[in-house]
Structure 1
Amino acid sequence: MEIVEYTTAITNELHRTLSAVSKEQADTFIQAVMDAKRIFVAGAGRSLLMIRGLAMRLMHLGFTAYVVGETTTPAITSSDLLIIASGSGETGSLKNMAAKAKDMGAALALISIYPKSAMGLMADYVIEIPATTSKVTDSNSQKSIQPGASLFEQSVLLLGDSLILKLSEQKNIKNQNEGLMKLHANLE
């Protein structure tokens, strides 16, 4: 296959996968973000890279957002929301983090392929992305030509950007770029 054909195949996979995301789950998730005093995000590997993008955009919209593990991340409290991106919902370090957040009284949101995973069962909010991963596959997941969990990880990034557009609408932000540039990093 040529590069353009791969690109078309990947974008078709993303369209098929993201079209299957539940509107109700997304709306509930958005309300949880709106209700939280602060938002913490976490993931592992490439999922962490994607969810970091959501934290940055939340900050650009005026939310207080942190990436778990950074040196300036404060303690989580009962008025906060932890969002975890985990394809399997079973990553050990993230399960421990989810349990700790719940022990502290924080709300837990999970973006995952498997809503009935260990973290899915702990979560207050779940957005199911019917993608696939090389770790776990089942017949309900979308098939992919891509390696590993690429389809899931790309879906997390695009879903995050879509959530930001909806949050902008909910916060009645008319010119997103104007607000973004006020909070955009300027020490680059």
Structure 2
Amino acid sequence: MNTTQYLGSILDELRISETISDSDAETLIHAVLEADKVFVAGAGRSGFMAKSFAMRLGHLGIPAHVPGETTTPGFEERDLMIIASGSGETKSLVSMAEKAKSLGGTVAAVTISPDSTIGNLADLKVKMPGAPKDQSGDSGETIQPMGSLFEQLLLLFFDALILRIMEKKGMNTKKMYGKHANLE
């Protein structure tokens, strides 16, 4: 296959997003809108997708933070921790979920594995389609290596959540742009 054929195959694979529960997505949106602060976490490439979601939440005027960043405030009882983890077993993310629960906050898991450790700690979860990274490319579910399909779906899913939150808040791109970084 050539590059554009691979791209076409990847786009075809992303159609699996239609299996994501709209009800679970709406529950997560409600939790985001009700939280005092939203924290998002992921490891590796999933972490990049989570950070992009935090950025867009900030553009919507929703206090959003990434654990480990210098300016991240403390997590409190009325806060929401959203953890993006394909396996749901990443040790550092399990620790964050446990800590958030111990502080009385809400934990949401966006994961391929809702019955994982993080999934079982979560108050709400969104099951994402995809193959675990140790099987991707070999499972028949995806031609892509490792966790690529999950990571791509995360970005698109988080962007879809942003569009729905924009709709609920009566926001548009022009209003959001006022909160965009302007020192670069």
TMscore range, shorter length: over 0.9
Q: Which residue of 2 is the match for residue 182 of structure 1?
A: 178
Q: How many residues align?
A: 182
The Cα of 1:58 is off from its aligned counterpart by: 0.4
Q: Secondary structure at the match of 1:163?
A: helix
Matched, 1:157 2:155: yes
Q: CA deviation at 1:142?
A: 7.5
1:134 Cα offset (Å): 2.4
Aligned twin of 1:19: 18
Deviations 1:127-180 (A, max 9, x none): 11011122367xxx871100000000010000000000000111122xx21122
Q: Does 1:169 align with 2:167?
A: yes
With normalisation by structure 2, the TM-score equals 0.96
Q: Over aligned residue pairs, what C-alpha RMSD do you find?
A: 1.3
Deviation at 1:2, TM superposition (A): 1.1
Q: Percent identity at matched positions?
A: 47
2:135, 2:146 within 8 Å by CA — same for their partners in 1?
no
Residues 104-144 of structure 1: per-residue CA shift (max 9 Å, x gap): 0010011100011111011011011011122367xxx8711
Please list every run of 5 or more consecutive structure 1 residues that lacks an aligned counterpart in the other structure.
none
Matches within 5 A, 1:15-94: 15-16=15-16, 18-94=17-93
8 Å contact from structure 1 (residues 130, 142) kept in 2: no
TM-score for the superposition, normalised by structure 1:
0.94
Moved over 2 A (4+): 133-137
1:49-90 deviation digits (Å, cap 9, x = unpaired): 011110000000110000111011011000100001000000
Match of 2:118 in 1: 119
Q: What's the secondary structure of 2:178's corresponding residue?
A: helix
